[in-house]
Amino acid sequence: MENKNCIFCKIISGKIPSETLYEDENFRVILDIAPAAKGHAVVLAKRHCTDLFSSDPATMSNALFVIAKVGDAIKKALACDGINILQNNGTAAGQTIFHLHFHILPRYNNDNLTIPGKTLSYKDGEAAEIAEKIRRELAL
């Protein structure tokens, strides 16, 4: 299923060229055109869906296999010290292209690449309250 206005659908269909690293029936993995690090790859679901929450369980299971396979190859090929796997859902989370995709970022000791975020703390009882809300949703 293709969305004619989606840049990732255009890349998957070959209408926009890319440097493909891996491809199977469900995914195409390309080098990011504006990488955060050399070797930054993007795993694109071939079936257009907006985000993780609009995907099906089989696609998500297959995604983990592809991410692990390509991440391992990047780590070996580039001799990086680590890998970040990033996946954003919604504008507030930093998603700018509304097509399910995952970023694989090679990392090096002292590379000065920072992933935004700060740590917070819970007030007394707040963690338990939030956990209970989430557990109720999981039970539905």
Q: What is the model's pTM?
A: 0.88
Q: Calculate the average pLDDT of the chain.
A: 92
Distance CA 54, CA 64 (A): 16
31-56 per-position pLDDT tens digit? 999 998 999 999 999 999 999 999 99
Residue 9 pLDDT > 70, yes or no? yes
Q: Is the dihedral of CA 117, 122, 126, 132 positive or negative?
A: positive
Catalytic residue among 40, 99, 101, 103: 101
In whole angstroms, what is the distance from residue 2 CA to residue 65 CA?
A: 23
Active-site residue, 48 included: no
Per-residue confidence band for 134, with pLDDT thresholds at 50, 70 and 90: confident
Question: What are the phi and psi torsion angles at 6 (to 5°)?
Answer: -95, 125
In whole angstroms, what separates CA 64 from the centre of its chain? 10
Q: What is the DSSP letter of 122?
A: P
Residue 116 confidence (pLDDT) above 70: no
- Residue pLDDT, tens place only, 66-103: 999 999 999 999 999 999 999 999 999 999 999 999 99
